[in-house]
Amino acid sequence: MALRSDYRAGTISVATGATAVTGSGTAWLTAGFAEGDQLFADGYCGIVGAVTSDTALTLAQPWRGGMLNGAAYRLRYQGDGSRISAQARQLIDLLGNSGNLEALGGLQGLANRLSYFTGSGQMGLTTLTAFARSLLDDADAATARATLGAVQQGGGTSQGPNIVRLGWAADGSGLLAQVDATPMGALWTNAYVEGDPAARRAKLGAQANLGFTPVQQGGGTGQGVNKIFLGWDNTSLRGQVDYVDIGRIWSDFGSGRQMAATGYQRIPGGPLIQWGSSMNSNYSDYYQPLPVAFTSACWAVAPVADNVMPAANALSITVSQLTKNGFDIRSRVLSAGGALSGHVGTLVHWIAIGD
């Protein structure tokens, strides 16, 4: 193919060191000039980088000659063969120097596999499933959501781009919602307003009403995972931990009590403790009845005198004749001379224990 003659119509203007060339009376774009063609003027040559209009083009490198204003010039067409060869060389350099073609050529083509870069000039294969292909061929987000069976998040009237999360409560109590980091609580559904209690429990996965409040077994500080049994043995409450019987559990049941200055308290499953105060009105010994009678016997009585005696005298309080109903109290004074006599007006506090 014969080369076309140089183009010389009009004049050009260009500044030293600039790349912009302005034409006057020119028709460069119409004449078909393009990147790679050559510009000659004032003994210098430049390579055209781009032609933007009939009167404007850009050089690939700054103009090395002096400033021109309305100067004559020549534009020379680059041969198609040279232009194609240069472009092919550039393409080969771009593809060959990166190692990408070699990496792609080193892969073994397999069905349902997709090539991808694993590094610079390195490629690998990954599985491309039928589902992935069905998602990749979707034209837009709405089609992709339909493929995934997903619900669009946001985008409605007055709705923002917040992240909305829905999930079943860890304790199985219902469906919970959260927007970004803010918990929104339970979502109301027809499961909450089901008229029939059994049907409502079935929908929520809830347990039927136990008729009592359950107590958590174990899990406290220092507590193990032992199994605890509580039960009635026809007389009292008993406990068992795993296979170990820990006996009766103390409670107020059946204990009986009279909390006063003269009173009594039965220890659950154990003895009866009684207490009181008394004072003799004469020098003789006297009988002290108990608030309640012991069932079988009075085991012991401890008396204490609440009197102040002269330093030279000693006061002695003793008890005897212990029965289920009472006991005798004796009050004696030992004087400094060794004489032993009765004592009147002795305030005695006592505690009795028995069964």
Q: Based on the domain organization, do 246 and 263 belong to the same domain?
A: no
User: Does 282 reside within a domain?
Assistant: yes
CB 75 within 8 A of CB 7: yes
Does any domain span residue 2?
no
Asked if residue 330 and residue 287 are part of one domain, the reply reads yes
The reply to whether 35 and 50 lie within a common domain is: yes
CATH number of the domain residue 52 falls in: 2.40.30
pLDDT of amino acid 55: 97
| Shared-domain flag, residues 131 and 114 | yes
Is 108 contained in some domain? Answer: yes
Q: Return d(Cα 347, Cα 305) in angstroms, integer.
A: 6
Q: Tell which of 216, 251, 286 closes a domain.
A: 251
Kindly state whether residues 140 and 70 are assigned to the same domain: no
Is the pLDDT assigned to residue 86 strictly greater than 60?
no
* 269 and 332 share one domain: yes
Residue with tokens 């917040």: 162
Residue 277, domain member (yes or no):
yes
Q: What does the mean pLDDT of the chain come to?
A: 84
Query: Which of the four pLDDT bands, split at 50, 70 and 90, describes residue 96?
Result: low
Decide: 224 and 213 in contact? Cβ < 8 Å.
no
| β-strands 182-186, 175-179 pairing | antiparallel
User: What's the pLDDT band for 76 if we cut at 50, 70, 90?
Assistant: very high
Q: Are residues 239 and 262 in the same domain?
A: no
160-198 pLDDT per residue, tens: 888 888 888 888 777 888 988 999 888 877 666 666 767
Which structural domain, as residue segments, surrounds residue 139? Answer: 100-146
Domain boundary among 56, 84, 112: 84
Number of domains composing the chain: 4
71 plus 137 within the same structural domain: no
In a domain, residue 176? The reply is: no
**What is the per-residue pLDDT across 284-333, written as a single tens digit (0 to 9) for each?**
788 999 999 999 999 999 999 887 777 777 888 899 999 999 999 988 88
Q: Which of 136-150, 291-305, 332-346 has the least mean pLDDT?
A: 332-346
- Between CA 22 and CA 19 the distance in angstroms is 10
Residue range 212-234: mean pLDDT, rounded? 81
CA distance 65 to 41: 8
Write the CATH number for 281. 2.60.40.3940
Same domain, 336 and 266: yes
22 within some domain: yes
Compute φ and ψ for 162, nearest 5 degrees: -60, 155
The pLDDT > 90 percentage for the chain reads: 37
pLDDT at 283 > cutoff 80: no
Q: Are 345 and 278 found together in one domain?
A: yes
Domain membership of residue 166 (yes or no) is: no
Whether 121 and 48 share a structural domain: no
Q: Are 126 and 113 in contact (CB under 8 A)?
A: yes
Which tens digits make up the pLDDT trace of 232-272? Answer: 888 777 888 888 888 777 666 656 677 888 999 888 767 99
What is the predicted pLDDT for the residue at 257?
72
Answer whether residue 317 is part of any domain: yes
Instruction: Examine the domain organization and report whether 53 and 116 are in the same domain.
Output: no
